[in-house]
Structure 1
Amino acid sequence: MKIKILILTTILCWGCSKVAPRRPINPKNSTTILKETINKSIRLNKIEEDKIVALIKKDSTKTYQISPNGFWYTYINKIEKNTPTPKVGDVATIAYNISDLQGHIIYSKAAIGEKKYQVDKEDFISALQAGIKLMKVGETITFVIPSYNAFGISGDGNKIGINQSIKSTVTLININN
């Protein structure tokens, strides 16, 4: 019996020994690559932002506002009366198009049709997710969206290329709770 207790105690002591954590084989390379990727993304975003700012400066007929979410917008049709805006969970019925920065239509309103969008509950263009919450029923807003707030580094896999900034004119048709 004493032998069994001695063997059991030995097994328990070995079983509870601490395992040394594994360290990266070459930690310097991974941080260097990560820093280079971040710096490249910052440069690309700056170039994209400069193009958008130049486009906005050319369009002197409209007043653009910048959103804290990183996109620009201008009202085409603004409703002055105090009516509600979409809240999280509401179903917003919208009509929208997508064009490139030069104004060439990529997807027309007719091709897209009316879209029912459940606010912040569906996957959608991130800038438009935030932008729709600014709108009142009947308003039309044109959004100028950098690629990182649109389709990013992959594009849409069809007509929108990688790192492509877009414009989208959205009309809020209805809000259902």
Structure 2
Amino acid sequence: MKKIIYLVLVLCFISCDGPEPRRPIKVKTGSYIKQSIERNKLLLAKEESAIQAIIKKDSTNTYVSGTNGSWYYYNTKNEQEKQTIQPDDLVTMRYSLLNLNNDTIYGFNDIGTIQYKVDKQELFLGLRTSVKLLKENETATFFFPSSLGYGYHGDDHKIGTNVPLKAVVSILKVEKDSILN
């Protein structure tokens, strides 16, 4: 009788293998991600082409290519100031946003005058990097592909999906970070 009890216990332990994980019905190959990458590359090329067409037609301004994929020209340049805006500076500025057809999305009065702690507060990517290209009392017009603007999501108000932007940015005052000085 003891042998039978031991045999049953041994069989119970051996048969308890544990739960076996379920295998996926469909195996994902990453093709969706590849399609998304291709779609984004085509969109960027189309937007850059539209911006380049605007630049080619404009013979009155001298355009500069930004480091992040934007293009800009100076409306007002401050030749006396040598120091550009650095991280942690407090910048008083105004800007307006337009689409590439020069239709105003947000005007200077809609946005108002803002104070921006450089690299410490949220602005859309293109504007964050562009502010650092300017100096006090300068105004420049920037062109951003949608990937540097509000991207696929938009701003939930006036800026829709994948809208390239034109921004006119005026730096009114720069207060240097006192730790660096």
TM-score (norm 1): 0.83
**Equivalent runs, 1:24-35 vs 2, <5 Å:** 26-27=26-27, 29-35=28-34
User: What is the deviation of 1:150?
Assistant: 0.5
Give percent identity, aligned residues only. 38
SS of the aligned residue for 1:55 comes to helix
Residue number in structure 1 paired with 2:90 = 91
| Structure 1 residues 174 and 53, CA gap change in structure 2 (3 angstroms) | same
Kept after mapping to 1: 8 A contact 2:145/2:164: yes
* Larger helix percent: 1
CA shift, 1:80, in A, is 1.1
User: How big is each residue's C-alpha offset from its partner over 1:103-130, in whole Å with a ceiling of 9 and x where there is no partner?
Assistant: 1111110111101011011110211111
- Give the 4+ runs in structure 1 shifted more than 3 A: 20-27
Alignment of 1:73-92 (within 5 A): 73-92=72-91
CA spacing shift, 1:24–1:136, aligned 2, 3 Å = farther
**Equivalenced residues, count:** 157
Structure 1: how far apart are the matches of 2:127 and 2:68?
Answer: 10
Q: 5 Å matches for 1:11-22? A: none
Let me know the Cα RMSD of the aligned residues: 1.8
Where structure 2 has 5 or more consecutive residues not aligned to the other structure, the ranges are 1-19
Which residue in 1 is equivalent to 2:47? 48
Structure 1: gaps spanning 5 or more residues: 1-19
Larger Cα Rg: Structure 1 or Structure 2?
A: 2
Aligned-residue offset at 1:26: 4.3
Where 1:164 maps in the other structure, the secondary structure is coil
Correspondence for 1:174 = 173
The separation in 1 between residues aligned to 2:158 and 2:144, in whole angstroms, is 16
